Chain A
């Protein structure tokens, strides 16, 4: 491609650094559960070990690789931005996604925090539009910041004309 190719610029703000810890913990938890699934039978049934031990090893190694690589990678990709006219987010790691929703079409703004997010003082802001094709989600924001962003979004959408459909 030529040097002046048109590109999406990344949104301005990164998510909170603590999100790395949050993603790491989450990935670790999933890895432990998935590894345990073949590992526990391997301990109990001796005849099945030739199959189960390699399976455990493969799942464990892949899981650990994901746990190490994914959170940092995600942190580099996950970004967000709220302008006067639109909300703009980037997310994903291997598969990446950029979403834009205009203020005038925003229907609801939610903040939500899972137990794990709460441990790290994080929150997610979810912005839905009339399309069921999935809401925009900004995950891993500082809780205070998330509340402020949600408030600001609410204010802006209230000031914007449109019937949101």
Chain B
């Protein structure tokens, strides 16, 4: 538990020099140069991790003339940064790189495509203009002051013009270029920003083309670096599809280790070279099979989305005070709400299953439509340079490339319903993708639609370039104590279920006729066919016992499934953990990507000799845990998965130093000892 007074930002700021900045890393310093630096000004401070500060207003539009200036600035800022000297190749090559701006065609600053402004305007216009027309008509017909009818259309046009001109300014202020070492972007109308990413830090390139942009032949390009919580991305809105494709290839293209030497050939030339090799070297890992869309509705949400869909209609009805239903029934000669209610009450056995079916069907329709939109034209390929490329999408076509080296593993993702119909989907465990809390990047990590589980396993093996898939290694069972823990939890839930049932049954006996009347009235306000409260009223109060039993059965069934889901294992290159009942995830994580261990034990786990043993990593969800594993079992597994890391800290209970195959390093040689 870290106390509330542990970290005070102002204290850090006071600290004149951060006591320690190791050489190896300072992503932020690299990727967020401020425009001040570009103007030749001094940096904001040694710890450049202040937000990408808005520099003083830049005079005029940044044009080619600033190329050399920027070059110097980048060079100087690289030199003045705390990481100076740690990456000599970069600093050393900078003068060479910028020596002759003219000789390097790739170094030219490029603008966004002018059409992107009109793409935005058309997209906004499609929504706004009809709204304005309807508004005009509505005001002219119904409003007490018809003169106001003149307002919406000119107003909308002015609004559109205003935003378009702002967008035009943004467009003109945005410039980007790709040099041999970095990819750079200047942007901002009022607050100038200059962003620069070393090309070796580029993890993902994401090319998106929503339909309104695609008709203009444009696309957006997002460059991902794996930086944590990247609030402001490196994003180009929009460039031509050809430019997007070229950027995608160039940015993920790894130069030879010598780096700077290859740079002089110019990026254009090298891109042309690779174009051919890539065409031939592309390996297809998966392609859409339309039968897979059948898996799309296999989620627990299907019924829920159906409910949501119907609820939206019901909500509309309620907002109009039941007027919508009255109007509809008058028009179509449908029975009124009262007649409907009586009809429903007499045929309850037919109506309840039928309405459930309707809910299910509407859920299926919605989910299948979403799946088709998302996964149309799905293709997963491995490019010649080793990067994995995902293409998909009907209205918004998406192309995502992940650098091969950054793909540290895969997750076989099986939500309960999908699992029970034999489906699974494959997700990437990659640096720069999918922090668990970030919905947007989490969605990005999906590399396949739901597909048959056998196909998904084969795809995972192909992605990891392994003949014997890590997902097929036999997983060790966790101790029975883990099952007992789950039974204990299920028991608690069952007891709660009993308590709630008793409370409800008690309320049921207390409820008077008047109270029921009130409830019926409220329900009639909300839905045209009040069913729920009447059904509850007619049930005898001992019926609540069924609820208690149901809760208990589900809880214990869940406990067993959850225990059976637990497992861990090792593969020559990967470690594997599996857990989950509602959603079962089998994760294969590259052993070399493990950057630490975290072992946690609750008081209950200590009593029964269990522990959660988690590997931390920079990729994916940052931490993958073997839950409720036997302490010894877990330690042996962790020690085997990453040799030498844990070994110095392991002992046999009798006191002998155990398993110290590594450099030993017990004790703290240079550690200043306590007073």
Contacts and interface: CB of A to CB of B under 8 A. Distances in A.
Interface in B3-23: 3-8, 11-12, 18-23
A23 B646 CA distance: 30
Contacts of B668: 12-13, 81-83
Interface stretch (A35-43, A44-52, A53-61, A103-111): A103-111
Contacts of B674: 13-14, 16, 142, 145
Contacts of B666: 83
Interface in A86-136: 86, 88, 92, 94-102, 105-117, 124, 126, 129-134, 136
Contact of B20 (A117, A137, A151): A151
Contacts of B88: none
A65 to B, nearest CB: 15
Given A84-B663, A105-B596, A130-B618, A8 B22 contact: no
Interface of A: 1-9, 11-14, 16, 23, 26, 81-86, 88, 92, 94-102, 105-117, 124, 126, 129-134, 136-137, 139, 142, 145, 147-154, 156-158, 162-165
Contacts of B649: 8-9, 11, 81, 86, 88, 100
Contacts, number: 235
Contacts of B11: 112-114
B435 A132 contact: yes
B351 to A, nearest CB: 46
Given A6-B635, A151-B19, A83 B665 contact: yes
Interface of B: 1-8, 11-12, 18-26, 226, 228, 431, 435, 595-603, 606, 609, 614, 616-618, 622-623, 631-632, 635-636, 644-646, 648-654, 656, 658-659, 662-663, 665-675
B24 A107 contact: yes
Contact of A114 (B7, B228, B623, B667): B7
A6 B21 contact: no
A142 B675 contact: yes
Contact of B598 (A11, A94, A97, A117): A97
A107 B22 contact: yes
B24 A95 contact: no
Nearest to B674: A13
B25 A163 contact: yes
A8 B8 contact: no
B665 A100 contact: no
Closest 7 CB pairs of A and B: A114-B5, A154-B20, A130-B618, A133-B623, A83-B665, A109-B20, A105-B595
Contacts of A82: 668, 670-671
A3 B654 contact: yes
Contacts of B659: 6
Nearest to B12: A112
A163 B203 CA distance: 14
Which residue, of A7, A81, A151, has the highest number of chain B Cβ atoms within 10 A?
Answer: A7
6 contacts: A23-B3, A85-B648, A112-B6, A130-B595, A134-B598, A151-B19
B618 A110 contact: no
Contact of A108 (B21, B599, B653, B663): B21
A111 B668 CA distance: 19
Given A6-B636, A85-B663, A92-B1, A131 B672 contact: no
B654 A115 contact: no
Contacts of B606: 96
A43 B477 CA distance: 57
Nearest to B664: A83
Given A81-B671, A84-B663, A96-B601, A157 B617 contact: no
Contacts of B23: 157-158
A108 B616 CA distance: 16
A117 B8 CA distance: 11
A154 B670 CA distance: 13
Contacts of A11: 649
Given A129-B616, A131-B618, A131-B623, 14 more contacts: A7-B635, A13-B674, A85-B663, A92-B1, A96-B600, A98-B600, A107-B22, A107-B25, A107-B26, A111-B19, A130-B618, A139-B3, A154-B19, A157-B22
